[in-house]
Amino acid sequence: MDPTQRQFNPYTENGGTILAIAGADFAVIAGDTRQSEGFSIQTRYAPKVFRLTDRAVLAVNGFSADGNMFVKKVKQRLEWYRHAHSKDMPLRAIARLIQTMLYGRRFFPYYVYNILGGIEEDGTGAVYSFDPVGSYEREACRAAGSAQSLLQPFLDNQIYFKNQQPAPGTSHPAHLPLPTVLAIVIDSFTSATERHIEVGDGLEMYIVLAKGRGVQGLESIRGLQELTVTEDGERVFVVQRDLKKD
pTM for the whole structure: 0.94
The pLDDT of residue 169? 92
Is the Cβ–Cβ distance between 20 and 115 less than 8 Å? Answer: yes
d(CA 187, CA 141): 15
- Name the residue type at position 1: M
Average confidence (pLDDT) over 176-181:
95
Q: What is the Cα Rg of the chain in Å?
A: 19
Pick the range with the lowest mean pLDDT from 69-83, 131-145, 159-173, 216-230: 216-230
- Closest residue by Cα to residue 203 from 218, 232, 182, 219: 182
What confidence tier does 219 reach under pLDDT thresholds 50, 70, 90?
A: confident
The pLDDT of residue 2? 80
Strand order of the β-sheet with 235-242 is 141-145, 17-22, 26-32, 202-209, 235-242, 225-226
Is the Cβ–Cβ distance between 151 and 51 less than 8 Å? Answer: no
- Closest residue by Cα to residue 16 from 147, 206, 151: 147
Q: What is the pLDDT of residues 52-107, one digit of tens each?
A: 999 999 999 999 999 999 999 999 999 999 999 999 999 999 999 999 999 999 99
223 exposure class (CB count in 10 Å sphere: 0-12, 13-18, 19+): exposed
What confidence tier does 1 reach under pLDDT thresholds 50, 70, 90?
A: confident
